[in-house]
Amino acid sequence: MDKLLTSNIQLNWLRTFEASGRCLSFTLAARELNMSQSAVSQQVQLLEHHLNQQLFRRANRTIQLTDAGRAFLPLVQESMRQLNSGAAQIFTPLNKAVVEVNVNTAFSVLWLGPHLQQFHAIYPQISIRQLGTNWATDFDISTAELEIRYGTGNWPGFTSCLLVTPRLRPYCTTANAKRMRQPADLAGMPLLDVIGTHQGWDGWLEKYQLGALREQPRQYMDSHASAVSMAANGFGACLMYDDLMLTGVLAKQLVAPFVDAIDTEGSYYLCYQGEHALSAASKIFKDWLLNSLSPE
């Protein structure tokens, strides 16, 4: 019986079930797996049909694990962990390695921190050493093979790969968002502006013809991470990149009250001086990072 249950189970079904069960959302699982929501739902249904067992309860656009689903999820997670770890040890020509990455603090806090566990599950023998960098002067003294920089992507002598869609929209807490129906409702709310960015609140207010709001209170900081933290604590609204607001503790505390966004010249880039100069471990981390992020 066990053989019949497992012999024809497809790995994609299990990956989709694991992501859905961990996120308790077909939508979030679809984003993580770069699939459509309907494809996620279909693969879960195929697995349920194969097992002849309901794994999720679906109601009011929400999902919850059934007793069978809760029991099955840790088994699938441990099996996938062992498969990833074993495959990495067999097929990756590495023993223990350390990859040093100079990384913009905001990107580290808002994206890399929430996702690094996924990299570790696949490549447990590779350690990532993050060194915070925020300003152009930090670039000049960097000795790391890989850097994650904020800017326009134009750094002579470097290959720069765009990581985050260069588009900003307002974010604030749900409590603050409930008071807003249109962009003009930002009146009276502190605007959290990031020093050194190429577009900020002035650009956003100008695009949506809200010049009268330019004189209202501003708070200034030198990192998007600080702006997001302040917004998550209920103090005002920040402008943020949607790609950095999908996962993580801070992202879960914020919502975008409007669809209105502006394109910006500034974004986050993975930079390195030459493909030939990268160590095997750095190449692996670079490929994982680029495969995990696919901006428009």
- CATH class of the domain defined by 167-264: alpha beta
CB 249 within 8 A of CB 158: no
Mean pLDDT of 73-94: 77
Triad 231, 233, 238: Cα angle to 5°: 0
| pLDDT at residue 294 in the model | 63
Cα gap 112→253, rounded to integer Å:
18
Contacts of 44 (CB under 8 A, 6+ apart): 13, 16, 17, 20, 26, 55, 56
Which part of the chain has CATH 3.40.190.10? 97-165+268-292, 167-264
Q: Helices then strands (H, E): number in the chain? A: 12, 12
| CATH 3.10.350.10 describes domain 2-91 | no
Cα gap 177→181, rounded to integer Å:
8
| pLDDT at residue 1 in the model | 41
pTM: 0.67
Share of the chain above pLDDT 90, in %: 45
Whether 296 has a pLDDT exceeding 60, the answer reads no
Which part of the chain has CATH 1.10.10.10? 2-91
Measured from the Cβ of residue 125, the count of other Cβ atoms closer than 10 Å reads 14
Residues 205-257 pLDDT 10s:
988 899 888 888 889 988 899 999 999 999 999 999 999 998 888 888 899 99
**What residues are paired with 272 via a beta bridge?**
159
| pLDDT at residue 57 in the model | 94
Residues 35-58 pLDDT 10s:
999 999 999 999 999 999 999 999
Residues 154-198 pLDDT 10s:
888 888 999 999 999 999 999 999 988 888 888 889 999 988 777
Whether 153 has a pLDDT exceeding 60, the answer reads yes
Residues 96-142 pLDDT 10s:
788 899 999 899 999 998 899 989 988 888 899 988 876 665 566 56
The candidate with the shortest Cα–Cα distance to 268, out of 148, 155, 135, 105, is 148
For domain 97-165+268-292, the CATH superfamily is: Periplasmic binding protein-like II (3.40.190.10)
- Average pLDDT, rounded, for the chain: 87
| pLDDT at residue 295 in the model | 57
Q: Is the dihedral of CA 196, 295, 242, 206 positive or negative?
A: positive
